[in-house]
Amino acid sequence: MQVRIAHDAPASAQTGALVVPVFTDGTLDAATKAADDALGGAIADILASGEIKGKLAESVVVHAKGKPFGRVLVMGLGEREKFEPHMLARAAGAAVRVLGRKNVAEIAFVLPPQAKGREAACAAFAAEGAITGSFDITLYQSKPEKKIAVTGFTILDDGFDAAAVAAGVARGTIVGESVNIARSMAATPANDMTPTHMAAQATKVAGEAGLAIDVLDEDRAKAEGMGSFLSVSAGSTQPAKMIVLTYKGDPSSKEVLGLVGKGITFDTGGISIKPAANMEDMKMDMSGGAGTIAAMYAIGKLKPKLNVIGIVPATENMPGGKATKPGDIVKAMNGTTIEVINTDAEGRLVLCDGITYALKLGATKIVDVATLTGACVIALGHAAAALVGNDDAFIAQFEKAAKPTGERYWHMPLYEEYTAAMKSDIADLKNTGGRAAGTLTAAAFLRTFVGDTPWLHLDIAGTAYLDSESAWQAKGPTGQPVRAFVALVDSMAG
């Protein structure tokens, strides 16, 4: 999809559909009032009737015969006093999905008056939402059942700072495309998204975004001592890959942000095999890795003044004659010995070597992300991801950066009792501490590998994909944490 800018007044926009905002207070702002006048008061009548109440992403279509716009989509933005720019991503995504399924190819989108003074942010979110709204998981359908017909999305800058709108559209387009890269990767089945395919996708991204890339094969990983990572791949015929993307935005600085994403391209649970029901969703157990690769693409395109490395330990977790067994002892890259209690607690086994390698490459701050624990879904449902860390200032910086993106993270504690639960009788650590506080014992396991380095852990098990579509995005992968990663990099770059 192409996102454009036009200087037209809303009432004179030549387009297939004009999207105008309304809030729950029912007051028609100038652009919406102009469209309402052109429609003979139809929008006011709709609001008065209660057909829609102006809730976020609530909408209704009005035909506009004889007008320069063929239809008007009245789009709710919620309570006026609670408006935030990221809500425009949802509104734009919903507009694309509603109108795209009505065979509308061109849309003109009106920014609300609340965008005044923050045009760049509002335009960025509108562009991002339009692009992500056009994505569907019908990647393998020869004749997609729910095709989105929209090919052009135009933001009207009439009455706004045109330069700021243009800057916002440029940024939002990159972020939206990056989110869709992550979603496309996560939606791809495991036979077409093996660790080798994942490394190939990362190589493609690196070429397009001007990143350096290095892919460690199993021999190099073994030479580095990555016994924990390789223990997960032991049962698979697909070779593991340790993917490293590097962006040098400030060569004069020694500060390096390390992003480490879990890249389990399919998770059967290994010898501790999962139940058959819904196992097909385990193709998306590499969502953290996909998000890391996609975020690095955005970082390369946006060119912030910060050094960033993205590391993705990619492998399958399969049962087999050579697979790691419960009770086996493996040695991580930093020399830590680990008793494998449950082979389905494999994400932390690959992340710990990814974290150690990030430190070897010079990372001064680290964020890891993974669809790590079912316990996170029990704790937070699908409304938010878990956030755990060892540095209050870094946690606060991340929360401040991430909140405006619309991605939700909930800070959870990391008490010493959780670390104690991960001690093994026979080795230094064990890879699971049981059912109690499973999200936090997993985080405590990873904490032992970062030392004093400021570190954050994001468990996106409940938010990496949707079981059903929403008004603004398709069922399936969400692309989290691309937006938050980009925002954090911006924050650290100043």
Residues tagged active-site: 274, 348
SS3 446: helix
Q: How far is CA 461 from CA 307, 375, 398, in A?
A: 28, 9, 19
Count Cβ neighbours within 10 Å for each residue of 274-297 and write b for 16 or more, e otherwise.
eeeeeeeebbbbbbbbbbbbbbbb
DSSP class per residue in 292-349: HHHHHHHHHHH--SSEEEEEEEEEEE--STTS--TT-EEE-TTS-EEE-S-TT--HHH
Q: Which helix (H) or strand (E) holds 248?
A: strand 241-248
Rounded to whole angstroms, what are the CA distances from 416 to 7, 376, 385, 413, 434?
A: 58, 19, 22, 10, 16
Q: What are phi and psi of 250, to 5 degrees?
A: -150, 75
Q: Phi and psi (nearest 5°) for 395?
A: -60, -45
Distance separating alpha carbons of residues 111 and 130, to the nearest angstrom: 13
Widest Cα–Cα separation across the chain: 79
